[in-house]
Amino acid sequence: MLLHRTCVASFAGLLLVLVGCASPRTGDTDPRPAAPSRRPNIVLLYADDAGYGDFGFQPRAVAKMRRLTPHIDAIAAAGVRCAAAYMSGPVCSPSRAGMLTGRYQSRFGH
Protein backbone atom coordinates (compact mmCIF):
# COMPACT_ATOMS: atom_id res chain seq x y z
CA MET A 1 0.00 0.00 0.00
CA LEU A 2 2.88 2.34 0.79
CA LEU A 3 4.39 1.65 -2.62
CA HIS A 4 1.07 2.52 -4.28
CA ARG A 5 0.87 5.88 -2.43
CA THR A 6 4.47 6.69 -3.36
CA CYS A 7 3.80 5.94 -7.02
CA VAL A 8 0.62 8.02 -7.03
CA ALA A 9 2.37 10.93 -5.29
CA SER A 10 5.31 10.75 -7.71
CA PHE A 11 2.97 10.61 -10.70
CA ALA A 12 0.94 13.56 -9.39
CA GLY A 13 4.11 15.58 -8.80
CA LEU A 14 5.41 14.79 -12.30
CA LEU A 15 2.06 15.70 -13.82
CA LEU A 16 2.04 18.99 -11.91
CA VAL A 17 5.54 19.84 -13.16
CA LEU A 18 4.66 18.99 -16.76
CA VAL A 19 1.45 21.04 -16.68
CA GLY A 20 3.34 23.95 -15.11
CA CYS A 21 5.99 23.85 -17.83
CA ALA A 22 3.51 23.49 -20.67
CA SER A 23 1.14 26.30 -19.70
CA PRO A 24 1.86 29.74 -21.18
CA ARG A 25 3.15 32.40 -18.85
CA THR A 26 0.88 35.41 -18.75
CA GLY A 27 3.23 37.85 -17.04
CA ASP A 28 6.10 37.62 -19.53
CA THR A 29 4.24 37.84 -22.82
CA ASP A 30 4.01 41.11 -24.70
CA PRO A 31 0.94 41.47 -26.94
CA ARG A 32 2.82 43.79 -29.31
CA PRO A 33 4.90 42.15 -32.02
CA ALA A 34 8.62 42.73 -31.90
CA ALA A 35 9.81 45.62 -34.03
CA PRO A 36 11.81 44.50 -37.04
CA SER A 37 15.49 45.27 -36.79
CA ARG A 38 16.54 48.11 -39.04
CA ARG A 39 19.60 47.35 -41.08
CA PRO A 40 21.63 50.28 -42.36
CA ASN A 41 21.56 51.25 -46.01
CA ILE A 42 25.13 51.32 -47.26
CA VAL A 43 25.99 53.02 -50.54
CA LEU A 44 29.59 52.85 -51.67
CA LEU A 45 30.50 55.31 -54.41
CA TYR A 46 33.64 54.16 -56.17
CA ALA A 47 34.82 56.66 -58.77
CA ASP A 48 37.64 56.01 -61.20
CA ASP A 49 40.22 58.77 -61.75
CA ALA A 50 38.64 61.05 -59.15
CA GLY A 51 40.83 63.00 -56.79
CA TYR A 52 40.16 64.08 -53.24
CA GLY A 53 39.10 67.59 -54.24
CA ASP A 54 37.02 66.70 -57.29
CA PHE A 55 33.66 66.79 -55.52
CA GLY A 56 31.64 69.72 -54.26
CA PHE A 57 31.30 68.46 -50.67
CA GLN A 58 35.04 68.77 -50.01
CA PRO A 59 36.29 71.80 -48.05
CA ARG A 60 37.10 74.88 -50.12
CA ALA A 61 40.77 74.80 -49.09
CA VAL A 62 41.13 71.42 -50.76
CA ALA A 63 38.83 71.83 -53.75
CA LYS A 64 40.22 74.83 -55.61
CA MET A 65 38.58 73.80 -58.85
CA ARG A 66 35.21 72.72 -57.49
CA ARG A 67 33.00 70.58 -59.65
CA LEU A 68 29.24 70.92 -59.46
CA THR A 69 28.07 67.62 -57.99
CA PRO A 70 24.75 68.44 -56.27
CA HIS A 71 23.45 64.88 -55.97
CA ILE A 72 26.68 63.50 -54.52
CA ASP A 73 26.82 66.54 -52.22
CA ALA A 74 23.30 65.74 -50.94
CA ILE A 75 24.25 62.12 -50.27
CA ALA A 76 27.38 63.25 -48.41
CA ALA A 77 25.41 65.77 -46.35
CA ALA A 78 22.80 63.20 -45.29
CA GLY A 79 25.18 60.34 -44.56
CA VAL A 80 28.55 59.45 -43.11
CA ARG A 81 31.69 60.41 -44.98
CA CYS A 82 34.91 58.49 -44.48
CA ALA A 83 37.61 61.09 -45.08
CA ALA A 84 40.65 58.84 -44.55
CA ALA A 85 40.72 55.98 -47.04
CA TYR A 86 43.67 53.98 -48.25
CA MET A 87 43.93 51.83 -51.35
CA SER A 88 45.81 48.58 -51.46
CA GLY A 89 47.42 49.21 -54.84
CA PRO A 90 49.29 52.11 -56.46
CA VAL A 91 47.20 52.27 -59.66
CA CYS A 92 43.47 52.19 -60.19
CA SER A 93 42.89 48.85 -62.00
CA PRO A 94 44.34 46.56 -59.31
CA SER A 95 42.80 48.72 -56.59
CA ARG A 96 39.38 48.46 -58.20
CA ALA A 97 39.73 44.70 -58.66
CA GLY A 98 40.83 44.33 -55.04
CA MET A 99 37.87 46.38 -53.83
CA LEU A 100 35.37 44.37 -55.88
CA THR A 101 36.79 40.95 -54.98
CA GLY A 102 38.01 41.61 -51.44
CA ARG A 103 41.44 40.16 -52.24
CA TYR A 104 44.93 41.63 -52.36
CA GLN A 105 46.46 42.22 -55.78
CA SER A 106 49.13 39.57 -55.23
CA ARG A 107 46.34 36.98 -54.93
CA PHE A 108 45.03 37.54 -58.47
CA GLY A 109 48.30 38.12 -60.30
CA HIS A 110 48.92 41.85 -60.24
Question: What domain count does the chain have?
Answer: 2
Q: 3-state SS of the chain: helix, strand, coil percent to 5?
A: 40, 0, 60
Could you list the residue range(s) of the whole structural domain that residue 67 is in? 41-79
Do 75 and 92 reside in the same domain of the chain?
A: no
Rounded to whole angstroms, the Cα distance separating 56 from 60 reads 9
Query: What are the pLDDT digits (tens) for 46-68?
Result: 777 777 777 777 776 454 556 67
Do 54 and 70 reside in the same domain of the chain?
A: yes
Do 68 and 94 reside in the same domain of the chain?
A: no
Query: What are the pLDDT digits (tens) for 63-86?
Result: 455 667 888 888 888 888 877 777
Do 75 and 88 reside in the same domain of the chain?
A: no
Q: Look at residue 45 in the predicted model and tell me its pLDDT.
A: 78
